[in-house]
Amino acid sequence: MASEAPALIGSSGDSLREAFGKALSGLADEFPKLVVLDADIAGGTGVHHFRKSHPERFLQFGIAEQNMMAAAGGLAAVGLLPVVTTFAVFCLRAVEQARLSLAYCKRNAMIVASHPGLDVGPDGGSAQALEDIAAFRAIPGMTVISPADPIETALATRAILEFDGPVYMRTGRSPARRVFGDDHTFEIGKGRIVRGGNDVTIVACGVEVARAVEAAQVLAEDGIHARVVNMATIKPIDAVLLERCAKETGAIVTAEDHNILGGLGGAVAESLALTYPCPIEFVGVKDVFGASGEPEELAVMFGLGSKSIAEAARRAIARKGRM
């Protein structure tokens, strides 16, 4: 387990969606039952790579997400391994299909959603899904994953293909920073400490992991040692690791590119309420819609940047002993 600060490798120019799309193509021969479902948005979700490499297993559904989502249930029912791809916001349109025709039927089907959160950037508020983790997390039996960087996205892509059961996974639209080295490993359901510290734990997922590491670096300059946990699996949440972090650091900050209601923060709070209640501060979009802008500008404006995370950490620490 890394206790050193990982080197943020900077923008690799590679977005999580590209990492996903390339990984999927690379895995296709190993998973002969894999089929990829698209709703006229392959260029955006990264599966254009798969369309090119495996056209016979690329299924076009047109701009009709509800039919696509439920049809994935049928494809899974006859033994194929369907991966539904579209933008996160359009997955919201088919939540009920995912609920009844995938999760309730316990289908081995995957939903991989690109363009989540403010990371969408210039397309603006209409396109920025800030509710998807909450919606999919509430579906019984649905596993929910949000990897942090391109390396982890590629590993998670393999992991969800190997996993049995319905999965919702977020990728990302914008060029992502590398958080992990090539030796990184990924396991569904396991959080990972990516930076050691005992004053507070920052639990983050997706793009917020890199920002959390940055925040920890800033806090370290003031002598505050923040632990950073990459909680790539939001459901099932790693309750054991959370309890341990709460005991060892006494305060928690959650950070996600999502509404503060019902997402990672909610999952962490629900878990710790039962195991080891302690002060928790929530970094995320505060129950409002997004807006156009570059992801970094939006992160600052909506309080998702490293500065906001560091401030939340100081607040959480200040609340220790006041519970």
| Stated length of the chain | 323
Give 39 or 205: the residue with its C-beta nearer to other proteins: 39
Q: Report the distance separating Cα 28 and Cα 240, nearest Å.
A: 34
Strand partners, 86: 113
Q: Report the distance separating Cα 127 and Cα 102, nearest Å.
A: 24
Give 97 or 174: the residue with its C-beta nearer to other proteins: 97
- Give the phi and the psi of residue 289 in degrees, each rounded to 5: -85, 160
Give 62 or 125: the residue with its C-beta nearer to other proteins: 62
Contact indicator for 33, 162 with CB cutoff of 8 Å: no
Give 103 or 145: the residue with its C-beta nearer to other proteins: 103
Give 12 or 66: the residue with its C-beta nearer to other proteins: 66
Distances (CA, A) of 91 to 70, 131, 137, 206, 264: 12, 10, 13, 18, 18
Q: Rounded to the nearest whole angstrom, what is the least distance from the CB of residue 82 to other proteins in the complex?
A: 8
Give 56 or 222: the residue with its C-beta nearer to other proteins: 56
Q: Rounded to the nearest whole angstrom, what is the least distance from the CB of residue 62 to other proteins in the complex?
A: 7
Beta carbons within 8 Å of 51's beta carbon, 6+ residues apart: 36, 38, 42, 58
Q: Report the distance separating Cα 11 and Cα 172, nearest Å.
A: 13
Q: Rounded to the nearest whole angstrom, what is the least distance from the CB of residue 236 to other proteins in the complex?
A: 20
Distances (CA, A) of 232 to 61, 62, 160, 200: 29, 31, 12, 19
Q: Report the distance separating Cα 252 and Cα 265, nearest Å.
A: 10
Q: Report the distance separating Cα 323 and Cα 234, nearest Å.
A: 26
Q: Which residues bind other proteins (CB under 8 A)?
A: 35, 56-57, 59-62, 64, 66-80, 82, 96-97, 100-101, 104-106
Q: Report the distance separating Cα 188 and Cα 61, nearest Å.
A: 29
Q: Is 18 a catalytic residue?
A: no
Q: Rounded to the nearest whole angstrom, what is the least distance from the CB of residue 42 to other proteins in the complex?
A: 16
Q: Which of 18, 56, 65, 243 is catalytic?
A: 65
Q: Rounded to the nearest whole angstrom, what is the least distance from the CB of residue 40 to other proteins in the complex?
A: 12
Q: Rounded to the nearest whole angstrom, what is the least distance from the CB of residue 57 to other proteins in the complex?
A: 7
Give the residue numbers marked as catalytic: 65
